[in-house]
Amino acid sequence: MVTFDDFVKLDIRVGTIINASIFEKAKRKAYKLEIDFGELGIKKSSAQITDVYNTEDLIGKQILAVVNFPPKQIADFMSEVLVLGTYSEGGVVLITPDKNVQNGDKLG
């Protein structure tokens, strides 16, 4: 069982996707994302969201991501953050704020 103290250790922030491209070397279909987290800078992520989104639709989209996991090597790419989504019918759907907010805002 996860405790509240475990949950608050996660640093979940809002970022805006500024670049998205097909991740050719990934074992499972994925995109390479560049995400602007404001004061935290631009971070990279590999995201298996190709069933629901195309790259053009992702540019400018605000998302939530865990920014304090250790980086993970995926093929020749270092994924720095974990983009959050739900496993939904048709594929993974990104978790997004319902209003435009500042990049770097923390989930509270």
**Confidence bin at 108 (pLDDT 50/70/90):** confident
User: Within a domain: residue 39?
Assistant: yes
User: How confident is the model over 48-86, as pLDDT tens digits?
Assistant: 999 999 999 999 999 999 999 999 999 999 999 999 999
User: Within a domain: residue 47?
Assistant: yes
User: Within a domain: residue 107?
Assistant: no
Q: What is the CATH number of the domain that holds 39?
A: 2.40.50.140
User: Within a domain: residue 105?
Assistant: no
User: Within a domain: residue 103?
Assistant: no
User: How confident is the model over 83-99, as pLDDT tens digits?
Assistant: 999 999 999 999 999 99
Paired residues of 85 in beta bridges: 94
User: Within a domain: residue 106?
Assistant: no
How far apart CA 73 and CA 22 sit, in angstroms, is: 17
User: Within a domain: residue 108?
Assistant: no
User: How confident is the model over 3-55, as pLDDT tens digits?
Assistant: 999 999 999 999 999 999 999 999 999 999 999 999 999 999 999 999 999 99
What domain range includes position 69? Answer: 4-94
Query: Could you give the number of structural domains in the chain?
Result: 1
How far apart CA 104 and CA 83 sit, in angstroms, is: 14
How far apart CA 36 and CA 38 sit, in angstroms, is: 6
User: Within a domain: residue 9?
Assistant: yes
82 touches 45 (CB < 8 A)? yes
Amino acid at 99: K
How far apart CA 63 and CA 83 sit, in angstroms, is: 7
